[in-house]
Structure 1
Amino acid sequence: MKLRTLLLLFLAAFVSGCGLFGGGGRGESSRTTGWEYNAEETGNIPYVSGYEQEPGPGLVFIQGGTFTMGRVEEDVMYRWDNHPRRVTVASFYMDETEVSNQDYREYVHWLNRVYPGDRQKINSALPDTTLWRSELAYNEPYVTNYFRHPAYTDYPVVGVTWEQANAYCEWRTDRVNEQILVSRGVLQHDNAQNGENVFTTNTYLTGLYDGTAGEKPQENPDGTTRRVKWEDGLMLPTYRLPTEAEWEYAAYGLIGNTDGELLTDRKMYPWNGAYLREDSRKEKGRLKANFVRGRGDMMGMAGALNDNADISAPVFSYDPNDYGLYCMSGNVNEWVADVYRPLSFVDVEEFQPFRGNVVTEYRRGADGGFVRDQYGRLVQDTIADYRNFRDGNANSQMVESGNWNSEEGRTTKDMYIQYDGTGNFSSLISDEVRVYKGGSWKDRPYWLVPGTRRYLEQAKAQDDLGFRCAMTRVGSPQGF
């Protein structure tokens, strides 16, 4: 009886066009005026109901919630920069795996095709493979092979800076949204695009991209055609680096440790328990992640390799956590979006904690039109910088004398005393230093705990540091 009632309700909803399946067509009326939506006689008032976001390629859904962020074991580094605090993270999407060499090669391939003569543009995106080089180790083969050889196609990309990771996210956003419009028949693939006439999500939405029209342009109810608008909900939000809170929340995968609203077991790692080896009968003794087991032991004894990886391992190695995410501990460290501050746990909000907000707006020319750079991207100007919010106070100084607040033009470098080349102390903290997390193939187990954190200048890279992308979820946390 209950099933029959549900079927009748769905049938009625479908027939009446209530928008349960992303509708919002003719026949629906405004509760404000009674005027019909999307009807020519009432001025084509736009309305789309029942929108449900589709995950972008490579992403899995991370249902948000509350968790205790921060240290879960002894602070062996004595940094006191990660005290536990209760926060809430909104639902979002995250890459199933770390970005692989193949994923990143697609980016480089696209740059070579679209900007064939611009070596500066292309070289700025290349990973720094020389980071594999060591004065007292024979790592030269990795310098030549790790990024380009097919043997490492499915290995995580490393040697990329935080800035390069962000550029990749921006490029990926544009290619995914371009493909959505192509698959809908709105556009055709334009392999000849170059210079300023390159598809970006923003230039298309602002009417600046002149691409090749497809066979099914977006239609108005009166039969006329138009460009797709953001309000249509066809294109996806931007790919981006996850915040530190998002990354840590996703790594723990606590969705598998709840009974109603009760958290039955906290976690030290992305898996249950405090052990690093499998305890199941079939896989007993196998390590659950790629890390350094002991001094000089990168992979174990011949015939019984403990993690089967001398350096990093393919991105689908080991078991995923309860969200379906691979290698959230070990393999390679991963960049996150946050600017590093020792006291962020005191300053940030309880909902969606993040330090690093820089608010921008698109620059307009004298004629009021948007300004583009030589690569067709809209130029952005900073209108607000919150990276130092609640951090620029006298108590944040690392020196006892003087009042940092009383002098004009002081910056983060002045507050934290950067190294000046003459032997003076440096904190290495600035607005260009970012957090990274997760532990790697060359780290001890302490760094595999998602609550631990380290930092590095955003223009630097390491041979064990990669990244994965995230995407904001719009609408309800899990759908209605």
Structure 2
Amino acid sequence: MACLIVYGCKSPQRSEKTGWKYNDKTNGGFQVFKKTHPAPGPGLIPIEGGTFVEGGSADQDIQYDFVDKQRRSIASFYMDETEVSNRDWLEYLHWIKTHYPTDHGLYYNALPDTLVWRRPLSANEPYVNAYFRHTAFQDYPVVGVTWEQANDFCDWRTDAVNEGILRETGRIADWKTASNNGEKVVMPFNTELYLNGQLRGEGIDGKKMMPDLSVGAKPGASGKSTRPVRAEDGILKAHYRLPSEAEWEYAALGVVGKDENIVEGKMYPWSGMGLRSPKRQTQGLMLANFKRGMGDYSGIAGSLNDKADITAPVRSYAPNDFGLYNMAGNVNEWTADTYRQIRADDDDMNPIRGNIFTNARTDASGKILTDKYGHPYHDLSKSGSKTPYQGENTAQNQTKLPDPSVPSRYQSSIDGKPYNPDQRGYNDTVNNVLYAKTTLVNDRSKVYKGGSWNDMAYWLNPAMRRFMDQGEASADVGFRCSMTMEGSAEINPQGKSHIPVKKPKAYKPK
């Protein structure tokens, strides 16, 4: 919880550069809150960043995939402790059904494709109806979801988490008040719209809103001047998203050193070269859920080797050194990256391939325009830097309404702009003449990693990578979310050596 830094202090805090008091309504009311390291959102654990060799754990390349061995640096971030489960996805579907009960298309498009279990020469048909909805599988990883669906889930989760924070702390109307004690469905919430000041008023404002010290702020019903939460208050969480391929590989390896020394290399998320536990109490037990050999998914009755035939619960086997479960086996996991065979030219700091920069679409007053679901419209950026201000009523600032013939935020076919490779390759597009004849790689090809219940041990190595179209799904591909970390890269500074720095000298006007 954020608090004004003036609280609990003997003397008011002042600006180092102007000497003005912070949090003083008589001098303009600039508010500053106590600096804190943000806590991870629900389900996430912190991953301290560092340097690793991407592709460095690969000991063989049977696909001749040219797995690159390049040094990369990864900034500290948050990652889901477990894969997203069936129960998590059912919560998502329930939210859609209660908020848009007549929009059958929206609900249908969010459903996992349970037909991924069908195989002409096997009898896995019962999983089509049972795996996703039966309570016995509620803590198993959700499968049959596309890369696009996974991204939509991340967007929904971001808004759900931030709405929960605001309602339970009284920054907006609490659940009981907003729902009329459960008699109605609470309106859909959007973080971007809230931060833009578009979600305010009766039935929305809470009883414990932030104090507003700005000049001219008028008292509300409580007799005090209040305002919504701002981004700089440090209360709302950052956006949930898919991890980049580099983040995923770094987190899966779980390489934690001491004094910048790594004492051993790793082939898997655990130490050693074997696939069974060497510890006395669990000696001989499998460390992941995978296919041991052709036709061997679980071992022999009475002594199942990995205790799972298809998937296993998301909290199974021992976590790696970062505390992450099932970073090898169980299900493969989507990453954010667009697939290319060679990655040598990728940036060496937080590399990702497939970044698309967009800006929210606003009208002349700065109001963000939304679709019928309350989601902000975003347009492709027209410039790499901030463009000059054009004024409110100029022709350049007139807003063009969305094209109603485009129902989806995702491209349904290949973006066919001319093939024009640049020096580094990040702008490469599809050669439509050769697509499906000499290559299946295009801009819709997304990377997935980790190996699954249906894969041999080779794919458990975090360096291994495969790709699938962003609109396709599989019975052995799921996902987990991540989140960018704000602030210091060092997660646990206690007990570690640091170069001392002085606090700023207190200023007193004379």
Give the structure-1-normalised TM-score: 0.86
Alignment match, 1:230? 231
Alignment match, 2:376? 378
1:348 equivalent in alignment to 2:342: no
SS of alignment partner, residue 412 of structure 1: coil
Specify which of 120, 123, 134 is matched with residue 105 of structure 2.
120
Residues 385 and 86 (structure 1), Cα distance of their counterparts in 2 relative to 1, 3 Å cut: farther
Specify which of 389, 393, 401 is matched with residue 421 of structure 2.
393
CA contact (8 A) 2:4 2:23 kept: no
Q: How does 1:322-471 map to 2 (within 5 A)?
A: 322-343=321-342, 345-365=343-363, 368-383=366-381, 392-393=420-421, 412-414=429-431, 417-419=434-436, 425-471=437-483
CA distance in 2, matches of 1:125, 1:466: 14
Q: Cα offset for 1:281?
A: 2.2
Alignment match, 1:135? 120
**Which ranges in structure 1 are unaligned for 5 or more consecutive residues?**
1-18, 398-409, 420-424
Instruction: Kindly provide the amino acid, as one letter, of the partner of residue 432 in structure 1.
Output: R
Residues 327 and 252 (structure 1), Cα distance of their counterparts in 2 relative to 1, 3 Å cut: same
CA distance in 2, matches of 1:86, 1:303: 45
More helix by share: 1
CA distance in 2, matches of 1:167, 1:213: 27
Q: Which string of whole-angstrom CA distances, capped at 9 and with x for unpartnered residues, describes residues 275-323 of structure 1?
A: 0011222211111000000110010000110001010000001000011
Alignment match, 1:199? 189
Specify which of 77, 94, 98 is matched with residue 63 of structure 2.
77
CA contact (8 A) 1:22 1:51 kept: no
**Which ranges in structure 2 are unaligned for 5 or more consecutive residues?**
215-223, 385-414, 494-510
Q: Which string of whole-angstrom CA distances, capped at 9 and with x for unpartnered residues, describes residues 224-262 of structure 1?
A: 11111111111010110000111000001111xx23111
In terms of mean alpha carbon deviation, does 29-38 or 368-377 score higher?
A: 368-377
Q: Percent identity?
A: 46
Instruction: Kindly provide the amino acid, as one letter, of the partner of residue 161 in structure 2.
Output: V
1:212 equivalent in alignment to 2:179: no
CA contact (8 A) 1:392 1:415 kept: no
SS of alignment partner, residue 346 of structure 1: coil
Alignment match, 2:274? 275
Residues 368 and 33 (structure 1), Cα distance of their counterparts in 2 relative to 1, 3 Å cut: closer
Residues 450 and 384 (structure 1), Cα distance of their counterparts in 2 relative to 1, 3 Å cut: farther
1:47 equivalent in alignment to 2:26: no
CA distance in 2, matches of 1:384, 1:302: 61
Q: Which string of whole-angstrom CA distances, capped at 9 and with x for unpartnered residues, describes residues 44-66 of structure 1?
A: 11222322101110111101100
1:253 equivalent in alignment to 2:234: no
CA contact (8 A) 1:358 1:384 kept: no
Q: Which string of whole-angstrom CA distances, capped at 9 and with x for unpartnered residues, describes residues 358-396 of structure 1?
A: 1100112355532110001110001169999xx942899
Q: Cα offset for 1:431?
A: 1.2
Q: Cα offset for 1:426?
A: 3.8
Residues 416 and 436 (structure 1), Cα distance of their counterparts in 2 relative to 1, 3 Å cut: farther
CA contact (8 A) 2:421 2:428 kept: no
SS of alignment partner, residue 381 of structure 2: strand
Alignment match, 2:506? none
Instruction: Kindly provide the amino acid, as one letter, of the partner of residue 361 in structure 1.
Output: N
1:108 equivalent in alignment to 2:93: yes
Q: Cα offset for 1:32?
A: 1.0
CA distance in 2, matches of 1:163, 1:443: 24
Instruction: Kindly provide the amino acid, as one letter, of the partner of residue 203 in structure 1.
Output: L
CA distance in 2, matches of 1:179, 1:288: 36
Q: Which string of whole-angstrom CA distances, capped at 9 and with x for unpartnered residues, describes residues 152-207 of structure 1?
A: 0000000000000000000000000001101211122244457xx52110111112
CA contact (8 A) 2:345 2:424 kept: no
Provide the aligned length of Structure 1 versus Structure 2.
436
1:298 equivalent in alignment to 2:301: no
Give the structure-2-normalised TM-score: 0.81
RMSD (CA atoms): 2.3
Q: Which string of whole-angstrom CA distances, capped at 9 and with x for unpartnered residues, describes residues 122-143 of structure 1?
A: 1111100011011111111100
Alignment match, 1:12? none
CA distance in 1, matches of 2:259, 2:210: 44
Specify which of 164, 168, 181 is matched with residue 183 of structure 1.
168
Q: How does 1:8-23 map to 2 (within 5 A)?
A: 23=4
CA distance in 1, matches of 2:55, 2:432: 25
CA distance in 1, matches of 2:443, 2:198: 33
Alignment match, 2:488? 476
CA contact (8 A) 1:198 1:209 kept: no
CA contact (8 A) 2:41 2:237 kept: yes
Residues 48 and 392 (structure 1), Cα distance of their counterparts in 2 relative to 1, 3 Å cut: farther
CA distance in 1, matches of 2:6, 2:442: 52
SS of alignment partner, residue 93 of structure 1: strand
Alignment match, 1:24? 5
